[in-house]
Amino acid sequence: MSWLWSVRTPSHIAKSEHVRCRLVNRRTWTLLTSVVLVVAFGLLGAFAPVPFVALGPGPTYDTLGLEGDHPVIGVEGHETYPTAGHLNMTTVSVTDQLSLFGALGLWVSGRYALAPRDVYFPPNKSEQQIEQENTEAFNDSQTTAETAALRFLGYPHKVLIGQIIKGSPADGTLEPGDRLLNANGKPVTDAASLKAALAGTKPGDRVEIRYQRADQPEQVANVQLGRNDQPGGDQSQGFLGVGATERPDVPFEIKISLAEVGGPSAGLMFTLAIIDKLTPGALNGGKFVAGTGEIDPAGNVGPIGGIPFKMIKAKEAGATTFLVPAENCAEAKSQAPDGLQLARVANLVDATKAMEALRANQAPAAC
């Protein structure tokens, strides 16, 4: 009888155990590496910022209502009339410091869009500078709204010096805030009339500028015009170096109180609210109207950004009609929420006609 024996010597046993340990170690390291990568990706996705911001629906404010304990638009020194309904200005929210997962979550929700961060936070400007610029633009929109509204209602206005270019002929003679009365023998009644008064002059010509500083008596300055070396400037025409701006010349004060809002796009709605408060009857017929748009002193309505988000918030707040700047109509029509009536406005006349239609329970001119 023969037997087949398998004999495992201590050296064989050691070699087998070594192979087994090596396989276990390799699997362990592979597993650990995978776990580390997953954790690292999770941490990056959750905390590492991406170079994008999320744009979405922002707050909406009734310009006929209150902000805290104060009216959004207050008038001191002049009779005001009761209002009804809503004239809501709309905003866009900008969410910064997004993580990868946060950005994807907002985008997937369908209420937000992602945009390059540099567009809204240029790398050559600090966040404080950007905030200051937005605040100034908002303040300018308030001033312009007041001018446009009172001009539309027939109140007198005055022309003031805004910016003075450093080193220009006006620098050191005139000051920002001076009221311009006459230039080169011609009355200054608006910004265009100042430009027209200097037409036909040439560098080196002397012109008289009549102006008033604060409550002082009228003054006369004899200014030698220079050459316009500004980009795009007409070097053949005499150059004064001032920017003219229009302001209402009225014995009462309009104050707009709305904090933590930036940008110029509330101008149209502020203008309509001022008109509503200074005239009898409800301008909007008691309807819930929202809208957006820049406005200039002459009442022209300019385009804005983010209109899809503004329409979403307006509809959610209860608006039935939305005033759309004419140049935004194509974009607005393609993305308007169901049930929100769009009214096309190119200027303040269009906007007041839209209000007239609503008072008569008719549809305003549409996009």
DSSP letter string over 254-278?
A: EEE---S--SSTTHHHHHHHHHHHH
Indicate where the chain has its CATH 2.30.42.10 domain(s).
157-248
User: For residue 301, what are its two tokens?
Assistant: 């309505």
Is the Cβ–Cβ distance between 338 and 360 less than 8 Å? Answer: no
Would you give per-residue pLDDT tens digits along the chain (367 residues)?
333 333 444 444 444 444 444 544 555 555 545 444 444 444 444 446 788 999 999 999 999 999 888 999 999 999 999 999 999 999 999 989 888 888 788 888 889 999 999 988 898 888 888 888 888 888 888 999 999 999 999 999 999 999 999 999 999 999 999 999 999 999 999 888 999 999 999 999 999 999 999 999 999 999 999 999 888 778 889 999 999 998 999 999 999 988 778 888 999 999 999 999 999 999 999 999 999 999 999 999 999 999 999 999 999 999 999 999 999 999 999 999 999 999 999 999 999 999 999 999 999 999 9
In whole angstroms, what is the distance from residue 225 CA to residue 241 CA?
9
Q: Which of 141, 277, 287, 310 is catalytic?
A: 310
Does domain 157-248 fall into CATH 1.10.10.60?
no
Beta strand 288-291 pairing with 86-95: parallel
Decide if 310 is catalytic: yes
Q: What is the pLDDT of residue 60?
A: 96
Q: How many residues does the chain have?
A: 367
pTM exceeding the 0.75 threshold for the entire prediction: yes
Q: Which of 168, 265, 313, 315 is catalytic?
A: 265
CATH topology of domain 53-154+251-360: Ribosomal Protein S5; domain 2 (3.30.230)
In whole angstroms, what is the distance from residue 210 CA to residue 34 CA?
80
Identify the three-state secondary structure at position 5: coil
Decide if 141 is catalytic: no
Indicate where the chain has its CATH 3.30.230.10 domain(s).
53-154+251-360
Amino acid identity, position 264: P
